[in-house]
Structure 1
Amino acid sequence: MNIYHNKKDLNSYVEHLKVNKKSIGFVPTMGALHLGHASLIEKGMQQNDIVVVSVFVNPTQFDNQDDLLKYPRTLDSDVELLQEISKHKIIVYAPTVKDIYGDNVKATSFSYDGLEHEMEGRFRDGHFDGVGTIVKRLFEIVRPDRAYFGEKDFQQLMIIKKLVEKHHMPVKIVGCKIHRANDGLAMSSRNSRLKPEYRKAAPFIYKTLNVAKEKFGANSANKVTEWVEKQFAKHDLLELEYFIIADVNTLKTVKRKSNKKTYRGFIAVYADDIRLIDNIALN
């Protein structure tokens, strides 16, 4: 398995692939890989000759510096997992901060036609500028034909689609279903940091989303939201940051339901100091 730590060497390999008309899939990650990442990579291998997996903890998308410092960095075990998937169809790009940003570790400001101001944008200042900065740079370095993102970060998926559209980038964005543990908890690198009692409690998030979906058929969005808020108010360990029902296209919070629109429920919850997000299609 080829592992590149600088863009110059990776560029040479990508050029070799392009000359030989090989298709390139791309899965950008921040490492601490799990089965959710594996599902994206396997989808990429089905549709491309080679899949590039980047492993880079991007400093410009963290509004909480303590979260950045605590974020797990497990490159050796990440590579082991990737080798179990495929030793020949996967390329790893694990750059340094300097290789990506040089001496200017700063996010570029982006407009996503308002998508960035909803949900996560309200609670994580500058987060999507950091996401846009790193994804755009990685696309320019890797030059993929297709890039794969999980629907767990549904807002991020929509924002990246908007980024590609507005900057006329020649890459197809492929959204992939949320990969869940057997108990329903959405796979996340942060899950590895959960203390045992919080890990045991965390599936309550998905269970609540499923009941909210059932209630959404016969109740207003406000009533469903109030019900979810009450469930978490009674929970001893999990603290609700937000639950929002939004239009999937605009991500704006629904005021009155329409049969002509598609909605999702979005949630952010603190399990001790670990922030977990999830979402579910409602109709």
Structure 2
Amino acid sequence: MYLFKQKDELRHYLNTAKQQGATIGFVPTMGALHEGHLSLIRTAKAQTSLTVCSIFVNPTQFNDPADFEKYPITIEKDIQMLIAAGTDVLFLPAVAEMYPEGLSAPAPHYDFGALETVLEGAHRPGHFQGVGRIVHKLLDIVQPHKLFMGQKDLQQCLVVTRLLPLIDSPAEMVICPTLREPDGLAMSSRNMRLGPDERKNAVALYQALSYIKTGLAKGGSLPDILAAARLQLQSSKFEMDYLDVIAVKDDGIILSPEQAVTDLPMYAVVAARMKGSPVRLIDNMQM
């Protein structure tokens, strides 16, 4: 595996590879890697001839400075995992390399529409502008043929899908299924911050989503099902930012089920933290 810390050196290497016929698959991450990330690497390797992974904890997408400071950093372990997975290239830039203009310099504004006003957008103001800013920079450097991201961050996937035409990127977005632990908890770097009791209790998120899916499949009333699922999470000592069911249009716009036609993809979505815990967890499940 080749490791680059300078964007110009990476560009030169990838341009040479493309001239020799390589197709580039790109997996952007913030590190603290787990099997979910490695599944993206494997998918990229299956669909393209040269797989690039980036590790960069992006400060502009954290609306909570404490969350940024506590984000888990496991670089040495991450590198070994990427080598074992057969990753071709790792891009490991410093903040100054990605933001030579400084973090407080004026930044582009991306029109993500209503995606910035609902769910994660409503609870993390400025978050998706930060995501757009760093993904735009990374895509300019890597210029991949395909971009691989995980469904666990569903709304982020929708934002980046909307970003691609805004920046005239020809990259094809590939959204990969969420990987889960044996008990159903969605794999996440933030799980590393959970204590043993919190980790055991966190499965309640998966159970609530499963309850909603089962209830809707049986023809139950959506308001009643959601009310019962929210009560389940409250009894498991969770405080929710949201637990809802949404529909997603082809253009990535999120609708409430009442606005949706029946053939649109539907998802149960949740963001919550256990009482007394600083760790905010998100998950979703297609209905």
- 1:148-189 Cα offsets, whole Å, 9 max, x none, are 000000111111111112322110000000011111110100
One-letter amino acid of the counterpart of residue 98, structure 1 = A
Once residues 263 and 16 of structure 2 are traced to their aligned partners in structure 1, the CA distance between those partners, rounded to angstroms, is 48
Q: Helix, strand or coil for the counterpart of 2:90?
A: strand
Residue 25, structure 1, aligned to residue 28, structure 2: no
Using the TM superposition, give the Cα deviation of residue 63 of structure 1 relative to its aligned residue in structure 2, in angstroms. 0.4
One-letter amino acid of the counterpart of residue 79, structure 1 = I
Q: Helix, strand or coil for the counterpart of 2:54?
A: strand
Using the TM superposition, give the Cα deviation of residue 269 of structure 1 relative to its aligned residue in structure 2, in angstroms. 1.3
Matches of residues 121-270 of structure 1 in structure 2 within 5 Å? 121-217=121-217, 218-236=219-237, 238-249=238-249, 250-255=253-258, 258-270=261-273
Using the TM superposition, give the Cα deviation of residue 257 of structure 1 relative to its aligned residue in structure 2, in angstroms. 6.2
Once residues 276 and 22 of structure 1 are traced to their aligned partners in structure 2, the CA distance between those partners, rounded to angstroms, is 37
Residue 273, structure 1, aligned to residue 278, structure 2: yes
Once residues 276 and 144 of structure 1 are traced to their aligned partners in structure 2, the CA distance between those partners, rounded to angstroms, is 30
One-letter amino acid of the counterpart of residue 120, structure 1 = E
Q: What is the number of equivalent residue pairs in this alignment?
A: 279
Once residues 75 and 240 of structure 1 are traced to their aligned partners in structure 2, the CA distance between those partners, rounded to angstroms, is 31
Q: Helix, strand or coil for the counterpart of 1:270?
A: strand
- 1:196-221 Cα offsets, whole Å, 9 max, x none, are 00001111111111111111232333
- 1:32-82 Cα offsets, whole Å, 9 max, x none, are 000000000000001111111000000000000000000011111100101
- 1:239-262 Cα offsets, whole Å, 9 max, x none, are 222102111222122336642333
Match in the other structure for 1:94: 92
Match in the other structure for 1:115: 115
Once residues 38 and 115 of structure 2 are traced to their aligned partners in structure 1, the CA distance between those partners, rounded to angstroms, is 28
Residue 34, structure 1, aligned to residue 37, structure 2: no
Once residues 139 and 52 of structure 1 are traced to their aligned partners in structure 2, the CA distance between those partners, rounded to angstroms, is 11
Once residues 143 and 157 of structure 2 are traced to their aligned partners in structure 1, the CA distance between those partners, rounded to angstroms, is 18
Deviates more, 1:32-41 or 1:242-251: 242-251
Q: Helix, strand or coil for the counterpart of 2:130?
A: helix
Q: Helix, strand or coil for the counterpart of 1:27?
A: strand
- 1:112-149 Cα offsets, whole Å, 9 max, x none, are 23222211000001000000000111000001000100
One-letter amino acid of the counterpart of residue 90, structure 2 = V
- 1:2-58 Cα offsets, whole Å, 9 max, x none, are 111110111111111111110110000000000000000000001111111000000
Contact 1:32 1:74 in 2 (8 A): yes
Deviates more, 1:172-181 or 1:219-228: 219-228
One-letter amino acid of the counterpart of residue 281, structure 1 = Q
One-letter amino acid of the counterpart of residue 90, structure 1 = D
Residue 55, structure 1, aligned to residue 58, structure 2: no
Aligned-residue identity in percent = 35
| TM norm structure 1 | 0.95
One-letter amino acid of the counterpart of residue 267, structure 2 = R
Deviates more, 1:269-278 or 1:99-108: 99-108
| TM norm structure 2 | 0.93
